[in-house]
């Protein structure tokens, strides 16, 4: 805004407002009522109000994308933690109590030594403050080029409104909407000097090649980028389908990580919090996806039929899965302790428990259980499928309970099961090897 003493005095009165000298702008926390006060004061002098569901921290060749009400804890290869969040005074006070913590004014994050104790305290306070919590680790190996952010381009372009409206009109999920708009923004800002509708097929192919060779994105990321680009040019512009000569990456065929029964029991024993224990037992006992767990409502539990109703699972399809008898005691203990009102797992103010919180929870519990494998909530879903197969359940029933569209997806568990392996002998075991004296 133009320099004006009356305006500066007004902004200074807003709680925790501050001047950012590097970017020469005022930063005001998104507290209830602040936006209304700003609108009342500036009135028709406000040119535009843009709502961002996420924002990028992009400095020192590092880019982190976090939601408006999200805390990101990032562990570096040197065992340091970077804590990134929008201004929150209580969280700031907590971090300042940790020994050797420091504020990096250039990069706008907190630095501190890696400690699970610190992580747990930050996560607990984040939950109390109604903030989502996300934990990431710096990958090994040579990183790829970071994506372009609003900090890199003066005229950064947002996703066209026509594409957003079309996605909503066709009832695409919130997750898909965020993914497509984010990926399409990356594409149109790669060619930021071109009109969007004038970008050629050869340029599209060049961008996809850039994603693989320079950005070093995964095959899944590349596929989603292709889908986002095709959606705009085919569904938004006139609706005519056009064939693009784009080589899609081959799907990486990797076997899922599966826990054995001892590891599964160790995981349950390591869950100290009854809510966390209930969530991981549910994932294992019913084969649910992470988003299905957080979307589950109390009314979806049918004790009479011993079934769980999964509403609008992947592909917007409803299904039922098994409610385990051995799960009921843990479920009742949890319901008695937490008394959720609508969703089975609720966070602050009765909202759904966040996906990021569950991801962090399973990581902490598996570490506490001493499991060396990389365990995620989806690992428990794969373990459900494998153990059900080993227990004699027909593949067709497993397919229906897990919500797989194709039976080929379910058949992957035949490759990881140990059933019958004890009957197989290695050729080496058939040799009569001489033992050393």
> Which residue of the set 129, 314, 322, 368 is catalytic?
314
Is residue 248 among the annotated active site residues? no
Under a CB-based contact definition with an 8 Å cutoff, are residues 365 and 280 in contact? yes
Longest dimension (CA), the chain: 95
Is residue 314 among the annotated active site residues? yes
Under a CB-based contact definition with an 8 Å cutoff, are residues 374 and 257 in contact? yes
Is residue 180 among the annotated active site residues? no
Is residue 387 among the annotated active site residues? no
> Which residue of the set 289, 297, 322, 368 is catalytic?
289
> Which residue of the set 147, 277, 381, 382 is catalytic?
381
Q: At CA 71, angle to CA 123 and CA 338, rounded to 5?
A: 40
Place of tokens 């040579």: 142
Residue 116 CA: distances (Å) to CA of 5, 81, 267, 361: 47, 10, 17, 12
Q: Which residues pair with 67 in a beta bridge?
A: 54
Place of tokens 């598996």: 366
Phi, psi of 150 (to 5 degrees): -60, -20
Is residue 289 among the annotated active site residues? yes
Under a CB-based contact definition with an 8 Å cutoff, are residues 199 and 157 in contact? no
Cα-Cα-Cα-Cα dihedral of 30, 33, 34, 37, to 10°?
Answer: 160
d(CA 103, CA 83): 10
Phi, psi of 324 (to 5 degrees): -75, 140
Is residue 381 among the annotated active site residues? yes
Active site residue ranges: 289, 314, 378, 381, 404, 413
């Amino acid at each position: 805004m133009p320099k004006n003493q009356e305006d500066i005095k007004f902004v200074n009165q807003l709680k925790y407002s501050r001047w950012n000298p590097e970017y020469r702008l005022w930063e005001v926390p998104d507290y209830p009522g602040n936006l209304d006060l700003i609108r009342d004061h500036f009135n028709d002098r406000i040119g535009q109000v843009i709502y961002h569901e996420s924002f990028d921290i992009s400095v020192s060749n590092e880019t982190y994308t976090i939601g408006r009400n999200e805390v990101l804890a990032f562990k570096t290869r040197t065992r340091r933690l970077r804590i990134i969040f929008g201004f929150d005074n209580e969280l700031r006070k907590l971090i300042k109590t940790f020994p050797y913590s420091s504020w990096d004014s250039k990069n706008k994050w907190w630095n501190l030594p890696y400690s699970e104790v610190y992580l747990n305290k930050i996560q607990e306070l984040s939950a109390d403050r109604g903030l989502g919590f996300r934990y990431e680790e710096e990958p090994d190996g040579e990183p790829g080029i970071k994506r372009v952010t609003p900090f890199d381009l003066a005229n950064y372009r947002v996703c066209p409104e026509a594409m957003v409206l079309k996605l909503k009109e066709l009832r695409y999920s919130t997750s898909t909407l965020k993914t497509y708009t984010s990926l399409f923004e990356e594409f149109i800002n790669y060619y930021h000097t071109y009109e969007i509708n004038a970008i050629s097929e050869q340029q599209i192919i060049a961008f996809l090649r850039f994603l693989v060779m320079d950005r070093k994105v995964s095959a899944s990321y590349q596929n989603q980028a292709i889908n986002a680009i095709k959606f705009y040019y085919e569904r938004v512009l006139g609706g005519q389908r056009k064939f693009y000569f784009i080589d899609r990456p081959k799907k990486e065929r990797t076997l899922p990580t599966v826990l054995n029964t001892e590891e599964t029991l160790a995981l349950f024993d390591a869950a100290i919090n009854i809510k966390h224990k209930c969530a991981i037992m549910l994932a294992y006992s019913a084969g649910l996806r992470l988003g299905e767990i957080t979307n589950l409502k109390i009314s979806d539990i049918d004790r009479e039929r011993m079934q769980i109703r999964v509403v609008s699972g992947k592909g917007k399809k409803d299904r039922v899965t098994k409610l385990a008898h051995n799960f009921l005691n843990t479920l009742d203990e949890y319901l008695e302790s937490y008394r959720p009102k609508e969703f089975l797992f609720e966070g602050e103010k009765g909202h759904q428990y966040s996906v990021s919180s569950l991801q962090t929870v399973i990581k902490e519990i598996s570490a506490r259980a001493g499991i060396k494998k990389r365990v995620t909530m989806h690992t428990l879903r794969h373990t459900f499928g494998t153990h059900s197969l080993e227990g004699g359940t027909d593949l067709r029933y497993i397919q229906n309970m897990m919500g797989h569209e194709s039976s080929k997806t379910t058949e992957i568990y035949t490759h990881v099961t140990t059933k019958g392996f004890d009957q197989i002998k290695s050729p080496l075991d058939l040799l009569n090897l001489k033992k050393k004296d």
